[in-house]
Amino acid sequence: MTYFVSVLTREMKRMVSRRLYFGVCIILPLFCVFFMATIFGNGQMENIPIGIVDQDQTGMSREVTRQIGSVPTFRVTAHYTDAEAARKATQAKEIYGYLVIPYQFEANATAGREAVLSYYYHYALLSVGGEVRSAFETTLRTLSMAPVVAQATAAGVGVDQVTTFLLPVKSSSHPLFNPDLDYSVYLSQPFFYIFFQVIILLVTVYAVGSEIKFKTGDEWITSAGGNMVIAMLGKLLPYTVIFSIMSVFANYVLFGVMHIPFSCGFWPLNLVAILFVIATQAMAVFIFSLFPAISIIISIVSMVGSLGATLSGVTFPVASMYAPVYYTSFLFPVRHFVEICQNLLYGDYGFAYAWQSIALLFVYILLALLMLPHLKHAVLSHKYENIE
């Protein structure tokens, strides 16, 4: 116990001796919370600038323009005389999509000839383009029935009856958990932890590795009485505490201040976050122990950390990736963490559906413990001190 306290106090002295630790343990996580909480604005894709090319200039084309203008997703910022100009504006990213109402549109529509409405959306910027497309699609699909409805009304058939005729089968769609498809609900929580795990990985490797780099390893292990487990626990505990507090604070901001919905209680989320912090630290210790040369491992860890963003499966589903990538994703704590969180947030499905992920997070701790004897040997051998 006295050894533990001496390692702990030694580590805390190290932490306050350099401003770097304050920066990476406090400032950077707070910055990440602030960034993910604010970057999406109000989270809704609204008022996206689009353009309209009205070559018809008739009552009907103006009606279409008005209808498009009233869709909350859109803000009609420009009217162009030809499609070429609108396309140029799209390239310059002034607008994210445009609608072309061709010459003779009204004449064709009323005369029963084929009338075409073409819309174009920006798919090099896929997430915005997707919103633009679905907004165009819903508005214009309804509009497209207008000539038929007009004929039907003339023949004395009610609007209800004609929609039934046109669409005998209809869909009703319910996106679960995030009914208004809010981007902050979707991304803020996972992406904060994706940033955070990179910080945890790097800080852990740095905290352990700097002992070797600055040749203080002997002193470190001596102060722990030669017990590597005590040395490691004492060293990492202050960081675990700080990062856990940061996670709880982040959860408070995300779920308390930003009102992201969650189905479980507040504390299960925090407990999982703390487990995630520990598992990530353990993974850092494991990777570092494989080859304890800080300059090499820290760059590897920074790359491993950034992969977490892809392999967490939040953006592009991992199950749709190639099999090797899919199976690799299970090696990353952040993937299990995201799975547990989705379970908790989306419906609190219960432990029965999350126990594998939770158990796997504990496995990282085991892996790290297994590597400790090797690390102790490496520290005392002084072999890795001058590898750059």
Residues 252-281 contacting other proteins, CB under 8 A: none
Q: Is 32 in the site for other proteins (CB under 8 A)?
A: yes
Is 106 in contact with 61 (CB distance < 8 Å)? yes
Q: Which of 4, 74, 193, 195 binds other proteins (CB under 8 A)?
A: 195
From the list 343, 339, 182, the residue with the least C-alpha distance to 260 is: 182
In the window 65-94, what residues touch other proteins (CB under 8 A)?
87-88, 90-93
Q: What strands, in cross-sheet order, belong to the sheet with 97-101?
A: 74-80, 48-54, 97-101
In the window 112-131, what residues touch other proteins (CB under 8 A)?
112-130
> Tokens 């607008």 identify what position?
95
Smallest distance from other proteins to CB 3, Å: 28
Q: Which of 163, 216, 227, 240 binds other proteins (CB under 8 A)?
A: 163
**DSSP string spanning 265-309?**
-HHHHHHHHHHHHHHHHHHHHHHHHHS--HHHHHHHHHHHHHHHH
Q: Which is nearer to other proteins, 275 or 344 (CB)?
A: 344
Contacts of 92 (CB under 8 A, 6+ apart): none
From the list 79, 109, 113, 72, the residue with the least C-alpha distance to 95 is: 79
Q: Which of 1, 2, 13, 169 binds other proteins (CB under 8 A)?
A: 169
Stretch that binds other proteins, among 215-223, 261-269, 279-287, 298-306 (CB under 8 A): 298-306
Could you give the CA distance from residue 276 to residue 270 in angstroms, rounded to a whole number? Answer: 10
Q: Is 46 in the site for other proteins (CB under 8 A)?
A: yes
Smallest distance from other proteins to CB 258, Å: 13
Stretch that binds other proteins, among 105-113, 236-244, 262-270, 374-382 (CB under 8 A): 105-113
In the window 299-338, what residues touch other proteins (CB under 8 A)?
299-300, 302-303, 305-307, 309-311, 313-317, 320-322, 325
Q: Is 359 in the site for other proteins (CB under 8 A)?
A: no
Q: Which of 1, 16, 17, 174 binds other proteins (CB under 8 A)?
A: 174
Is 329 in contact with 335 (CB distance < 8 Å)? yes
